[in-house]
Amino acid sequence: MSMCGYPSEIKKLIKYVEETREERLKKPYRRLSLEEREKLLKEWHPDYKPGTKRPLRVGVCKGTVVYNEVADLLEAWPLIDPDQIDLSKVDYDVDVLVIGSGGAGLAAALWAIYSGVSPDAVLLVTKLRLGDSNTVKAQGGIQAADRPEDSPILHFIDTVGGGLFANKRDLVEALVTDMPFIMKWLEDLGAMFDKNPDGSYVEVSGGGACRRRLHCARDYTGLEILRVLREEFLNYDVPYLEFTPAIELLTDPEDGGVSGAVLYNLETGEYYVASAKAVIIATGGAGRLHIAGFPTSNHYGATMDGVVMGYRAGANIVHLDTFQFHPTGVAFPEAIRGELITEKCRSLGAQLVNVHGEQFIHQLETRDVVSSTIIKECAEGRGIITPTGAMGVWLDMPMIDMLRGPGTIKKALPAMYRQFIRHGIDITQEPVLTYPTLHYQNGGIEIDVFSRVLRPNGEPIPRLLAAGEVGGGVHGRNRLMGNSLAGILVFGRRAGITAAKTVKETSTRPKLSLKHLEKYIEELKSIGVPRERSSPILLPDYRGEKVLLRSLRIF
């Protein structure tokens, strides 16, 4: 194992961090004003960098500006030719089809069942294994305003302020008022959150939050939530298909609503036709698109499939010209570059420090602002250059044990400790090198408070629901820490409830067609999209160049 730790030329810089530590421990860094924050974002945040975006040339949001990587996916040929799919033979005839098995998909399936849908009338399909998702990688925590000092009002104000006031406010209201109920649900399901001996939650601060509101399960919060939901899901014996993503929605030409999906077996190459009275898209985010050339903290399947399918079926898209770059991705060691260093490190007191040992930002400003200052420090020559030429600043981890007592890191951040000790870096003794990493899709296909997917005119697309990272509106232009786990459960639950209601109201099975796709293909033809560009991409392709150049597709 290469347990080498830092190379000597970096290791010797650590003394500058240590020299200023005592001083920094004593004096809290000042917070920035709204004006100062805006200035930083405009000058340094990737969202404002020219040349990274363009207006869409096809679909219902033609003219809307999105990141180039998003436009490339939406201005791309479908994986299927509508003529080659036989829709007369239905392989799965169900009431509710759930696409995706992260927290949002599992919550949706469970709440559809709680709301009266028979478990065997649900089908959940997922691209990798059941539960493979960004949910399991969510380390820091989940926000719920449940302390006496806190309220949904403050959670609301924090969330819209963090979102640069662009959030859909009724979605934020749903988020902040549902969350205490969601915590109760998780308690009832036996999820283990960090607690004080009297049973009260241990709650810490998140960036941009004015109260300690983050509920944690060590630094495995998302994993704990997901495995509890997955256990509950499996106990209901719900039919599910692994390694079988949806690759296109089906629509009923009579009302333009959604009626099912075309599924694809990743291992055999076979397609299946699923018919449903309600379809829930819970496909997650898009980190594996490497927006603006950034590494990502996302799981292997985060390729924006849901937005692609939903957009082709007429969904409005919002805020896809903004992505969240998490301030503290791993900058070194190279082997795990881009992986996440949870914000909980900063919640517990770790400060950000440049090569001179100077703190340059309060560690709990919002993520967009903190990322911008890190990019600025590095661009202006106050960063640390790693042996592979990557840059970063220090996150002063040993402060945590100094502030909160020896043993805090190993107890509260065991995943972080493991991640670095595997590469010979002991975070209880040494700071870590960090640089922003592509983390979260702030926007997506627009939903309403019932998790219904909306058209650009505000009308819901019949029978189509969405929840989790794929849905847009709730987080505005920048999501707060702890609001993603909250969002997947709040809107997953609502999607499940709406799906059950939709099933009751849908007496006749909607017709299956790919009419919407035929129309979309005409548009693609008219702008001359290159033939080799197709989507959804399903999985990133990281194969070595040398191999690809000699690849023969004969088997």
**Interface with other proteins in residues 254-313 (CB under 8 A):** 266-267, 297, 299-300
Among 52, 118, 253, 358, binds other proteins (CB under 8 A): 358
For other proteins, give the closer residue by CB, 162 or 314: 162
Closest C-alpha to 366, from 516, 147, 217, 160: 160
Which parts of 83-102 interact with other proteins (CB under 8 A)? none
CA terminus-to-terminus distance, the chain:
35
List phi, psi (to 5°) of 441.
-90, 100
Among 547, 552, 553, 554, binds other proteins (CB under 8 A): 547
Which three-class secondary structure state does DSSP give residue 245? coil
Which three-class secondary structure state does DSSP give residue 73? helix
Which parts of 382-411 interact with other proteins (CB under 8 A)? 382, 384-389
CA 252 to chain centre: 30
Quick note: the x/- pattern for other proteins over 192-221, rule CB under 8 A, is x--x-xxxxx--xx----xxx----xx-x-
Which parts of 414-473 interact with other proteins (CB under 8 A)? 414-415, 418-419, 422-423
527 binds other proteins (CB under 8 A): no
For other proteins, give the closer residue by CB, 86 or 188: 188
ω into 536 cis (within 30 of 0): yes
Residue in the structure block whose two tokens are 């509106």: 473
Q: 13 to each of 113, 376, 393, how far by Cα in Å? A: 57, 20, 11
Pairing state between β 460-466 and 278-281 = parallel
List phi, psi (to 5°) of 100.
115, 140
Closest C-alpha to 288, from 544, 536, 548, 100: 536
Which parts of 34-63 interact with other proteins (CB under 8 A)? 34
Contact region with other proteins (CB under 8 A), list: 173-181, 269-277, 464-472, 512-520: 173-181
346 binds other proteins (CB under 8 A): no
List, by residue number, the catalytic residues: 326, 346
Contact region with other proteins (CB under 8 A), list: 12-20, 254-262, 497-505, 525-533: 12-20
Among 5, 52, 90, 173, binds other proteins (CB under 8 A): 173
Contact region with other proteins (CB under 8 A), list: 84-92, 168-176, 448-456, 519-527: 168-176
10 binds other proteins (CB under 8 A): yes
| Amino acid making up residue 322 | T
Minimum CB separation from other proteins for residue 527, in Å? 30
Residue in the structure block whose two tokens are 């999501």: 479
Cβ partners under 8 Å of residue 373, min gap 6: 40, 44, 352, 360, 361, 365
Minimum CB separation from other proteins for residue 81, in Å? 23
How many residues lie near other proteins (CB under 8 A)? 114
